[in-house]
Amino acid sequence: MEHTDTAEPSRRDFLYIATGAVGAVGAGALAWPFIHQMNPDASALALASIEVDVSAVEVGQSITVVWRGKPVFIRQRTEKEIAEATEVPIADLPDQFARNANLEEGADASDANRASTGKEAWLVMVGVCTHLGCVPLGESGDFGGWFCPCHGSHYDTAGRIRKGPAPENMLVPPYKFSGDDVVVIG
Amino acid sequence: MKNLMFKSARALAVVAGLAVAGPALAAGDGPHVEKQPWSFAGPFGQFDKAQLQRGFQVYQEVCSACHGLSYVAFRNLAEEGGPGFSVDEVKALAAEYSIEDGPDNEGEMFERDGKPFDKFPSPFPNEQAARASNNGALPPDLSLIAKARAATRGFPWFVLDVATQYQENGPDYLYGLLTGYHEAPEGVEVPEGQYYNPGFIAGHTLAMAPPLSDELVEYSDGSPMTVDQYARDVSAFLMWTAEPHLESRKRIGFGVMAFLILFASLLYFTKRKIWRDVDH
Amino acid sequence: MAGHSTYEPQNAGAKWLERRLPVLSLVHGSFVAFPTPKNLNYWWTFGGIAFFVLVVQLITGIVLVMHYTPNDALAFASVEHIMRDVNYGWLMRYLHSNGASMFFFAVYIHIFRGMYYGSYKEPREIAWILGVLLFFLMVLTAFMGYVLPWGQMSLWGATVITSLFSAVPVVGEAITTWLWGGFAVGNPTLNRFFSLHYLLPFVILGVVMLHIWAFHVAGNNNPVGVDPKSDKDTVPFHPYYTLKDLFAIVVFMILFSWFVFYLPNYLGHADNYIPANPMVTPAHIVPEWFLLPFYAILRAITFDIGPIPSKLGGVIAMGGAIAILFVLPWLDTSKVRSANYRPVYRFFFWLFFFTTIMLGWLGSKPAEQPYIAWIQFFTVLYFAHFLIVLPVLGLIETPRKVPDSINDAVLGKSSDAA
């Protein structure tokens, strides 16, 4: 009897630990489908790209289109706006990265890196303030670019944050010009 | 001895059950479904990609003239567990279709090339147009057809099928229908515009003319170009459109089963240990 | 849910909570230290199994609502969206649709166990009545849930069942119109069924708590049917029954998974993969398998009974088939609980079981002869069991000698076996 008393507990403990461990693994595996079902579904991921005809957008005008449920600003900038944006030293910017999905990560926030390559007048960016997600107003703010009314973020004519609580420049989505007048976003 | 009453009750139950069930079930309703071999049957069943591609070809060249596939998107053809087309093939395929989109800036609807995220366009704009073109009959959408026809194999199969996991009565029915066109036997009246087919689920005639014939679709992989092969391929393809996650369902199912059996065994021994000192 | 607790809070936090809201001692008294008869067999695990499936239904249901659209033009497509595009959406839906069947399967066994062992008898009548109420709520919930995918069976099942109310004299038409929110089953009906289908499971959860509370006051019944007399007759709920129930639940999950992963549409009806069409009725409308016995009884009354037309008679019979369960504790006149000691009752119990199986099978058959005659035969047996057999049997049956205590019964059993 004494012999079994000393041998038994360790065998029993092992059984309990094994059962508990297997149960924990199962519970963990079971949780994943219930979490993952809330991620974007296959149809949302597939709706990748839109085409926008910008032939009607004159110099100094913008249009707003919807891409992935978010507004995208497409603006043909004036000479003056381009000049203002180009003159600013990068060292003076709160966010010195281009935030341009078409460039390498870490590209600097020069005007050329923000605007459309080869078509400097065109600026395409996701019109969502990088602070808390409001949509900034165009042609306003202290820098003649965009101004977010929610918490007072000022963006310049290249969509870069200059003043206020927003941490980053507005994002440039993946896009390209297909022909002269058609922008393909996504 | 103590169970005499109980045993006689059970015997009575069995006898009464047979008396009621026997003749009633023998009569049966709906067509007789013949079990076919399918690569996707059984606990480890998977689709045969080449077969799905051939079946898609049959759908595209034959069925799609009248039947939609409205819950299926072009992109699905390149997704895991499907026919296994490449993304580029799907893009090219989608571009062959014309999709109505809009409105544009002038408020007009316009046609554009299909994109992978588009669903298969229906051959008719609405039900009325479909009926008008088909002599009053409505060609059903085929996305779910393999799960939407209550073809049964009758008693006792429907009980045994729980154990054998047979659930391919949908594709079996489709195969039986597509290969079931015959000359009507003596004395069977076939109305104008109808065709005799004992494999049809609602009566012995239907409005669909025999859609398949030998050599109708040109296969490039050397498979036989016969009605029988076309019917098998398109039925398999339609099983996939109805149940696109069948492969991952069965794969995950196996893992779940293995886990549950292991866990249940461990729990059984744990429970036995705990109860060891109790008379119960 | 009873004051059996000997719970002593161990740490400062538990002590703090205990003085203010003694939930820990409540849980301890109800599910840890709770003295449970030591001779419960595996039929007793189906209460825990049913509760487990209820939780599965609640969780998967909440998930499905995140992706489902209750609108007559969009509902069917949104279900297909769940099946095709949502990550693991097919798993969520198949768990939920098969879960309904599993819930009824477990609950039916639970009910038959209660009938076999006389668990409805004094002093557990309230637990039984709450159980019948739970069953009734489940039927309502399952029926409305079946409508939500808005397939052909959804629409026409809803039409047939709601039309039952048109059998009510004078106000019948007004009631059906009110239920539908229109002049046929349509979008308003779908929306209100969706609302109630989401609400009722939480009501069920609440009544489950009352049900547990009620049988914890009297303590569990057991296969011998004699209440525990001393500590020798009971064991603490934890770890003895927590482990036993968990083991049974995991075994049940194997059955559940068999259907979900390998036969997900076996228990459903193919016509529900055809979008609802108010112009075309399916050839053969059948409810889900767990409602078939009641559907059969509905069709048993094919004749007028005095001033009651057959249509109303069928509705009354079907309602009566559930309603009679509420008064079961007072129809059974025997003082002996367990059928183990009532040989004649045991015979009638199995006859009743067979009756319900046959009614279920007949419920799936078309409304024509010879099925109707058989349905009528078994409907008579169904009601006779409650109205004639149980009251009379208690008076004339001589039960076998009931053991003095659970412990005696257990020891007697083991000496028999040896």
Nearest CB partner across the interface for C347, out of B6, B20, B149: B6
Model confidence band, residue C255 (pLDDT cutoffs 50, 70, 90) = very high
Element (H or E) spanning A122, and its range?
strand A122-126
Hey, are the CB atoms on B245 and C261 less than 8 Å from each other?
no
- C85–chain A nearest CA distance, Å: 5
Mutate to test the interface with C, among A16, A19, A22, A41 (most CBs of C within 10 A): A41
Spatial distance between the Cα atoms of B61 and C11, rounded to a whole number of angstroms: 75
pLDDT of residue B154: 75
Q: Which pLDDT band holds residue C96 (cuts at 50, 70, 90)?
A: very high
CB contact under 8 A, A47 and B117: yes
**What are C16-55's pLDDT values in tens digits?**
999 999 999 999 999 999 999 999 999 999 999 999 999 9
Please determine, for residue C260, whether its predicted confidence score (pLDDT) is greater than 70: yes
Element (H, E) at A155: strand A153-155
Surface of C (42-81) touching A: CB under 8 A: 59, 63, 66-67, 81
Rounded to a whole number of angstroms, the distance from the CA of B48 to the nearest CA of chain C is 18
Would you state the pLDDT for residue C412? Answer: 80
List, as own/partner pairs, every contact residues A24-31 make where C-beta atoms lie below 8 angstroms and the sequence separation is at least 24, other chains included. Answer: A25/B259, A26/B259, A26/B263, A29/B259
Residues of chain C found within 8 Å of residue B268, distances taken between Cβ atoms: 247
Kindly list the partner chains of chain B, i.e. chains with 3 or more CB atom pairs below 8 Å.
Answer: A, C
| Among C residues 256-275, those touching chain A with beta carbons less than 8 Å apart | none
Tell me the pLDDT band of B30, cut-offs 50, 70 and 90.
low
Confidence band of B26 (pLDDT split at 50, 70, 90): very low
Lookup: tokens for C159: 């039409």
Mean of the per-residue pLDDT values of chain A: 89
pLDDT, residue B98, reads 93
Catalytic residue among A3, A36, A131, A151: A151
* pLDDT, position B25: 39
pLDDT of B131 > 80? The answer is yes
CB C261 to CB B252 under 8 A? yes
How confident is the model at residue B8, as a pLDDT?
Answer: 52
pLDDT at B24 over 50: no
Q: Name all chains with 3 or more CB-CB pairs below 8 Å to chain C.
A: A, B
Integer Cα distance of A143 and A153 in angstroms:
11
Nearest CA among C170, C167, C149, C141 for reference residue C80: C149
- Phi, then psi, of B194 in degrees rounded to 5: -120, 160
Provide mean pLDDT across the span A76-96: 92
Give C160's DSSP letter: H
Q: Give the closest-approach CA distance of C138 to chain A in angstroms.
A: 24
Confidence check: pLDDT of B56 > 80: yes
| The three-state (H, E, C) secondary structure of C10-41, written as one string | CCHHHHHHHHHCCHHHHHHHHHCCCEEECCCC
- Residue A125 Cα, gap to closest chain C Cα (Å): 29
| Inter-residue contact A113 to A133 (CB < 8 Å) | no
Q: What is the pLDDT of residue C415?
A: 44
- Locate the chain A residue with the closest alpha carbon to C63: A34
Asked if C269 contacts C145 with a C-beta cutoff of 8 angstroms, the reply is no
Q: Is the pLDDT of residue C59 over 60?
A: yes
Q: Considering only residues B8 and C370, tell me which one the structure prediction assigns the higher pLDDT.
A: C370
Hey, how many other C-beta atoms are within 10 angstroms of the C-beta on C121? Answer: 21
Please tell me the distance in Å from C85's CA to the nearest CA on chain B: 10
pLDDT at A39: 93
B165: region left, alpha or beta (phi > 0 left; psi from -120 to 50 alpha) = left
- Pick from C66, C85, C88: which is nearest to A33 by CB? C88
How far apart CA B114 and CA B94 sit, in angstroms, is 5
Task: Give the side-chain half-sphere CA count within 13 A for A149.
Answer: 5
User: Which residue is listed with tokens 């409001």?
Assistant: A134
Strand-strand pairing, B195-196 and B205-206: antiparallel
Interface test mutation site (partner A, options C87, C243, C249, max chain A beta carbons within 10 A): C87
- Nearest chain A CA: its distance from B99 CA (Å): 14
CA angle C143, C147, C150 (to 5 degrees): 165
Distance from CA of C248 to the nearest CA of A (A): 14
One-letter amino acid identity for B272? R
3-state SS, residue A125:
strand
Predicted confidence at residue C176, as pLDDT, reads: 95
Mean pLDDT of B15-43: 64
Burial C157-168 (b: 16+ CB within 10 A, else e): bbbbbbbbbbbe
Chain A, nearest residue to C61 by Cα: A34
For residues B208-225, average pLDDT: 95
Contact C88 A42 (CB under 8 A): no
Which of A1, A13, A17, A22 best probes binding to B when mutated, by most B CB atoms within 10 angstroms? A22
Span C62-71, mean pLDDT? 97
Tell me what percent of the residues of chain A surpass a pLDDT of 70: 93
CB distance from B75 to chain A under 8 Å?
A: yes
Residue C118 has pLDDT above 80, yes or no: yes
Question: Measured between beta carbons, which residues in chain A are less than 8 angstroms from residue C89?
Answer: 37, 41
pLDDT at A179: 83
**How near does any CA of chain A get to the CA of B256, in Å?**
9
How much is the mean pLDDT over chain C?
94
Q: Quick one: closest CA in B to C344, which residue?
A: B5
Percent of chain C at pLDDT above 90? 90
Token output for C264 = 């997900």
Degrees (nearest 5) of the Cα angle C342, C345, C348? 155
**Residue C184 in 3-state DSSP?**
coil
Out of C261, C270, C365, whose CB is closest to B253?
C261
pLDDT at residue C77 greater than cutoff 70 = yes
- Kindly tell me if the per-residue pLDDT of C404 is higher than 70: yes
Nearest to B242 by CA among B143, B135, B141: B143
Q: Indicate yes or no: CB of C262 within 8 angstroms of CB of B244.
A: no
A81 has a pLDDT exceeding 90: yes
| Furthest CA-CA distance within chain B | 90
**Strands of A122-126's sheet in order across:** A61-67, A70-76, A122-126
Q: Which of the four pLDDT bands, split at 50, 70 and 90, describes residue B156?
A: confident
Work out the pLDDT band at C287, boundaries 50, 70, 90.
very high
Query: B270 vs A16: CB contact, 8 Å cut-off?
Result: yes
Higher per-residue pLDDT: B19 or C246: C246
Q: Which one of B241, B243, B259, B274 would you mutate to disrupt binding with C, by most C Cβ within 10 Å of its Cβ?
A: B274
Residue in C with minimal Cα distance to B71: C80
Q: Are B123 and B67 in contact (CB under 8 A)?
A: yes
Query: B267 CB near a chain A CB, below 8 Å?
Result: yes
Bigger pLDDT: A48 vs B24: A48
How many other CB atoms are there within 10 angstroms of residue A91's CB atom?
Answer: 7
CB contact under 8 A, B259 and A53: no
Give chain C positions within 8 Å (CB) of B275.
240, 244
Q: Assign C354 a pLDDT band (cuts: 50, 70, 90).
A: very high
Find the mean pLDDT for residues C260-288: 93
Confidence band of B17 (pLDDT split at 50, 70, 90): very low
Q: Please report all neighbours of A, defined by 3+ CB atom pairs within 8 A.
A: B, C
- Mean pLDDT computed over A40-45: 87
Tell me: pLDDT of C283 over 50: yes
- For C46, list phi and psi in degrees, rounded to 5: -75, -20
Residue A140: pLDDT over 80: yes
> What is the reported pLDDT for C276?
96
DSSP structure string for chain B: -TTHHHHHHHHHHHHHHHHHHHHHHHH--SPPPPP---TT-STT----HHHHHHHHHHHHHTGGGT---TT-BGGGGGSTTS----HHHHHHHHHTSEEEE---TTS--EEEE--TTSBPPPSSSSHHHHHHHTTT--PPP-TTGGGS------TTHHHHHHHHT---HHHHHHHHHHT---PPPTT----TT-EE-TT-SSSSEESS-----TTSS--SS----SHHHHHHHHHHHHHHHH-TTHHHHHHHHHHHHHHHHHHHHHHHHHHHHHHTTS--
Contact flag B270-A43 (C-beta cutoff 8 Å): no
List the single residue in B75, B115, B266 with the smallest CB-CB distance to A19.
B266
- Inter-chain CB proximity C66 and A37 less than 8 Å: yes
What is the pLDDT at residue C5? 60
Quote the mean pLDDT of chain B. 88
Q: Is some CB atom of chain A closer than 8 A to the CB atom of C346?
A: no
At C230 the three-state DSSP class reads coil
Please give the residue of chain C at the shortest CA–CA distance from A46: C85
* Listed range (A46-55, B247-256, C154-163, C317-326) with the worst mean pLDDT: A46-55
pLDDT given at position B34: 87
Contact (CB<8Å) B259/A29: yes
Question: Quick one: pLDDT at residue A16?
Answer: 92
ipTM above 0.90, yes or no: yes
**b/e B114-150 (16+ beta carbons within 10 angstroms → b):** bbbbbbbbbbbeeeeebeeeeeeeebbbbbbbbbbbb
Name the residue among A23, A43, A53 with its Cβ closest to that of B263.
A23
The pLDDT of residue B23 is 37
Residues contacting C171, CB < 8 A, separation 6+: none
Q: Is C89's CB within 8 Å of A34's CB?
A: no
* C263:B202 CB<8 A: no
> What is the arithmetic mean of pLDDT over B258-266?
97
Tell me the residues of chain B between 54 and 73 that have a Cβ less than 8 Å away from chain C. 71
DSSP characters over A18-82? HHHHHHHHHHHHHHHHHHHTTS--HHHHH---EEEE-TT--TTEEEEEEETTEEEEEEE--HHHH
Q: Is A3 noted as a catalytic residue in this protein?
A: no
C-alpha dihedral sign at B257, B261, B263, B267: positive
- Across the range B149-166, mean pLDDT stands at 84
Query: What's residue A53's pLDDT?
Result: 86
Are residues B123 and B66 in contact, defined by beta-carbon separation less than 8 angstroms? yes
Tell me the average pLDDT across C335-344.
95
pLDDT band at A48 (very low <50, low <70, confident <90, very high): low
Closest chain A residue to B267, measured at CA: A19
Please provide the DSSP assignment of C37-95 as one string: ETT--GGGGHHHHHHHHHHHHHHHHHHHHTT---STTTHHHHHHHHHHTSTTHHHHHHH
Average pLDDT on C124-144 reads: 97
Question: DSSP of A92-116, one letter per residue?
Answer: G-S--B--BTTS-TT-B--HHHHSB
